[in-house]
Amino acid sequence: MKYDELDLMELFLSESESLTDNVGDGNITYKISKDDFTLKIFIRTYENQISVFLTYKEKDIFYGDFDNINELKKEDMYLRVLRENNTIASLCFGTMLSISIENQ
């Protein structure tokens, strides 16, 4: 899976954390909070999988697992989730955190 760590740090305003306490295994997470919303993404690089969680006041709003992901790409205030060069989901980092799912 292709992604730019600096782009992810810029969108999430933080560095990644290891999911397994083993930095080199490719399993990382990013998290950002705005107002009462929290957006988390779990990246499993070598399995080409990501999981996305959006909560509001610590209550789940959205959860999605995405397989066969080739690339995570920053475009302005969006993080595009790409499968075979097609956007299947977009995470928005605007004034409000949001997720839109494209036709899969």
pLDDT, tens only, 18-52: 988 887 788 999 999 999 999 999 999 999 999 99
Domain ranges of the chain: 5-101
Please report the pLDDT score of residue 2 as a whole number. 94
Please report the pLDDT score of residue 24 as a whole number. 79
Q: Residue 24's beta-bridge partner residues?
A: none
Enter the DSSP assignment of 16. Answer: -
Residue in 3, 7, 23, 28 with CA at minimum distance from that of residue 78:
7
Q: The whole model's pTM is what?
A: 0.91
What percent of the chain is helix, strand and coil (3-state, nearest 5)? 15, 55, 30
The rounded mean pLDDT for the chain is 94
pLDDT, tens only, 46-94: 999 999 999 999 999 999 999 999 999 999 999 999 999 999 999 999 9
Please report the pLDDT score of residue 104 as a whole number. 61
